[in-house]
Structure 1
Amino acid sequence: MPATLADLWFDRARTQADDLAADDGTRRVSWGELLRLADGAAERLATAGVGAGDVVVLQGRNTVEWVVTAGAVHLLGAALAPLGSEEPAAARQEYAVRVGARAVVAEHPAAGELALSAVQPGDLDAGTLPPRRANPAASAVAVVLATSGTAGHRQWVAMEHAVLIRMYDDVAGLLDMASGDRLLGIVPLAHSFGFNGLLVLALLSGASLRLVPDRDRDALAGLVRESAATIVAGPPALLHDLAAAVRAGESLGPQVRLFMTGATEIRPSALLPLAAEVGIPRVSAGYGLTQTCGTVALCPNIAQASDGAHVPMTVLPGVEVAVLDAVGRPVPPGTRGRVLTRGYHVAVPVGDDGWFVTGDEGHLHPDGSLCVTGRVDDQLVVSGFNVDPVRVELALERSPLVARAAVVGVPDPRSGHRLVAVVVPADGVDAAGRNEAAVLADARAVLTGYEVPRTVVWVDALPHTTTGKLSRAAVRGLLAEHLTDQEHVQEA
């Protein structure tokens, strides 16, 4: 087994030099070409001072240029720190400081940053593979990915080469992934699902990537058909969109064999009819967190394993899972509790016992398989992405119109949760001054698109517990009353 992602880049170029590696609708490259392009980009990054052990922030859409630059970082023995393409410049600068970046590469760079286009090499010698530039240890950091924190700020999770290769080699095997597969890359490569579940899997299996720089719901079904995608990956909302397109007369073609998804809670009763409607014979479901390098357990085919309401997932080799009650005692199979995990895959500091405590609720089956049934903390999931409500609340409170804010999730069959902001107006702001558009505009300056609430509800005060803490349960009850009064609700 190759030791690093750089090894995988060379393996693909040696064994599948002329096979299609990636295309983004405007540019197609083979594995051999991709390696040579990455080596040329590595030369440009080296000229900018990047070397082994450094960190490079990369921001951009899902394009061939993005993949080339990611490969260049790994060929240099550096660590990649990708950032979502929607992140504003201020967030990018904060991110670079937090991860100690040597360089920032962006599709639309600010002062002092490198343009993604400028990193791309010119003409290259065809047919020859470049020499190795660096030989990082298998334990070196390959990628640093951002995840929502629990106190209004983010965590930065460093993932090692060996961990990613071990984990996603197991995942590729469970999904029967091979070089003939074609992955549709709608999920952003800057996120764990995209980087690990698309790029790393492609490097391991030799499957090609059809990258999607800009998602267009109306063009989605045609893109699946015309790209000859065999695997479509994304949150459950994506399957809802495909089903809507098919109902409108579109076709995905006969080639799609697998819809690969992951979310806190997967309901077969909702997903399997949609898959049948669009003609996808197999749906897989994975569970994991960025803090655990993306995957803890996987069900390769939810139609074969479903227990009705939830999906029993096989825990990956080398990974342990436990379910505890509210006071930390193990519960018997079938009893719900908080999910914990430990093993080689945990990439954040934990206690001496090695257990990482998740915010998820679930139960174990007697055979050791895991069912995830929801959240036990306040974290929300929108279209497959974790959203920390505290972070969103702080962004909303930037507005001079808002004194306090609370964010909760309303169940949504398409996106998992629809974010609702319950806000208290600032002193002096009367009913006429409650401008939802202005409040959300201020929030958008520091949030990504999926973190922005869709609904704003104005209230006179937020409910608190006897100890002075915000009572989210009471907020949800308050929200239920207001959502029936359309005069107080503004859809954003």
Structure 2
Amino acid sequence: MASNTLTIPRMLAHSAQRHGERIAIEENGVAITYAQLHRNALKVAAGLIALGVEPGDRVAIWAPNGSQWIVAALGIHCAGAALVPVNTRMKGSEAGYVLASSGARVLFSAGQFLGSHYPELLAEHRPFSLAQIVVLNDARPVELSWENFLDKAQEIDDAVAFQRAAAVTPDMLSDVMFTSGTTGNPKGVMTAHGQNLKAIDGWAQAMGLCAEDRYLIVNPFFHAMGYKAGWLAALMHGATILPQQVFDTSAVLKAIERDRISVLPGPPTVFHSLLADPALATTDLSSLRATITGSTTIPPSLIERMRNELGFKVVLTGYGLTESCGFATLTSRDDSPQVVAHSCGRAMPGVELRIVDEHDREVEPGTAGEVLIRGYNVMQGYFSDDAATREVVDTEGWLHTGDIGLLDEAGCLRITDRLKDMYIVGGFNCYPAEIERLIAAHSAVAQVAIVGVLDDRMGEVGRAFVVLRPGALMNGEEFIAWCRTNMSNYKVPRYVDFVDSLPTNPSGKVLKRELRSVALAQVS
């Protein structure tokens, strides 16, 4: 990629110049060309400038996949601000924490979505730093609607927005994406325009992404796979984006046939669901070309079925963290199903990998240890948390991932375990410390420990071991129902065991390994 396009505003302008009348986004029968998208993004930037947003400010989006999400995000970038994506599955308190921690000045919010009015969910958790909420749909009379926000853009001369976009540099923050950690509180990962675009371009080239592709994005835009490997990658290469708000197997199969979808990444659960749908046999899948999926373990049979039954010519897997711009390793389109299933591929160009023991000494190929990453893709740090940054990025620039893996003789990475207790539910990272913190608020709970257990459909799900307070009564159904009310649904434990005590070591630390052994014994 040319150095003069290593900012998102310049990339957008370049794509608009190159692909002007090609369709950038197609949604519900409405098409937006690349030229229109560029103009719309500058209009949003003007609206943000009218609201007082300055370069370096943070602006958040809390909404489902859609064209407005993309236009708003590009407008944020063109205004020189940093995008803060907020998980649509978050409850008001969780979203409020992210907004307060990032110091977001403006929030683009869904109105009505999944049976809730999002600004209302946030109301009692709204931080003082949040000056304005722009409601994208179903705005109430007292709220600033998307349309009225765009009217504010008329207060700003077009040249002002254009100059603001042109002033963005590759080393300026493009986003602050929140990820949880062992402390139980989400942390804001800061990454810059240049490093993101370089990583995205490498991924897109491996996928063979091109202007003829029609990209159905089922991964949520608040996640790196929906945002960076999703619509940003598509815009860099002139492809057409078709956003999918909520994954529905029937709707996806219909879209593949009707809209001639060629690119469809997703977690393994997406492909398990498609392969199990009875309508698959009568659906025209001939347009499908490329995909990437990811998990710690993928059966080789799934890779074979994705190629043979879904018709994908390119099937990749990869590995990355939010702290590495979402990218670090990739398989290649020439790799065998066994390599794709059993490894995460090789380090991307410009990225280094090391496997080290508990003393940070590099181990021999084939020996398991902690995975370390160094390169242009390593984050700038955690927002307003230098101490947490120093815990994971050492003085030599190595990112300590907390994942256990090994490198084979061919340089392919295989993730074998995690130092951290994180597990993955249907493509979503779950962090026990965060879930435990939320459950601890229940008046009947004295102690709780969460572990991930294997699940045929979701990959992994949570199992809760709960110690009740003396005299407290609660059954499993009541516990699960409370969790569904108070946390994102993918965080809700699938199973619950009420126990008298939790196993601990002499220092009082809960022995999660013993709990995993108990859970494994109960299903074996």
Determine if the TM-score, normalized by the shorter chain, exceeds 0.5: yes
Q: Mean alpha-carbon deviation: is it higher for 154-163 or for 272-281?
A: 272-281
Amino acid at match of 1:463: P
Q: Does 1:115 align with 2:142?
A: no
2:164 to 115, 133, 153: 133
Q: Does 1:467 align with 2:507?
A: yes
Measure how far apart 1:481 and its partner are.
5.0
Measure how far apart 1:302 and its partner are.
7.1
2:489 to 449, 462, 467: 449
Structure-2-length-normalised TM-score: 0.86
1:309–1:102 distance in 2 versus 1, CA, 3 Å: closer
- Give the 5 Å matches for 1:253-402: 253-301=285-333, 303-304=335-336, 306-307=338-339, 310-311=342-343, 313-347=345-379, 348=381, 349=389, 350-402=393-445
Distance in structure 2 (CA, Å) of the matches to 1:290 and 1:22 = 25
Measure how far apart 1:114 and its partner are.
2.0
2:95 is aligned to: 92
Deviation string, structure 1 residues 104-158 (Cα, Å, up to 9, x no partner): 1211335552212423537999xx9984433111100001111121111111101
Measure how far apart 1:359 and its partner are.
2.1
Measure how far apart 1:83 and its partner are.
0.5
Is this contact kept in 1: 2:61–2:109, CA < 8 A? Answer: yes
Q: Mean alpha-carbon deviation: is it higher for 202-211 or for 408-417?
A: 408-417
2:245 to 213, 224, 244: 213
* Amino-acid identity (%): 30
Distance in structure 1 (CA, Å) of the matches to 2:239 and 2:86 = 24
1:61 to 53, 60, 64: 64
Is this contact kept in 1: 2:297–2:341, CA < 8 A? Answer: no
SS of the residue corresponding to residue 327 of structure 2 reads coil
Is this contact kept in 1: 2:317–2:344, CA < 8 A? Answer: no
Is this contact kept in 1: 2:453–2:519, CA < 8 A? Answer: no
How many matched pairs?
Answer: 479
SS of the residue corresponding to residue 188 of structure 2 reads strand
Deviation string, structure 1 residues 314-361 (Cα, Å, up to 9, x no partner): 211111101122333222112222211111111033221211111222
1:232 is aligned to: 264
1:419 is aligned to: 462
Amino acid at match of 2:515: V
SS of the residue corresponding to residue 164 of structure 1 reads helix
Measure how far apart 1:371 and its partner are.
2.4
Indicate the structure with greater helix content: 2
Amino acid at match of 2:343: V
Is this contact kept in 1: 2:46–2:153, CA < 8 A? Answer: no
- Where in structure 2 are there 5+ consecutive unaligned residues? 112-118, 124-131, 138-144, 382-388
Q: Does 1:190 align with 2:222?
A: yes
Amino acid at match of 2:424: V
SS of the residue corresponding to residue 377 of structure 1 reads coil
- Where in structure 1 are there 5+ consecutive unaligned residues? 485-492
Aligned CA-pair RMSD? 2.5
1:26–1:439 distance in 2 versus 1, CA, 3 Å: farther
Distance in structure 1 (CA, Å) of the matches to 2:341 and 2:64 = 36
Deviation string, structure 1 residues 55-96 (Cα, Å, up to 9, x no partner): 101110001111110111111111110101122222222211
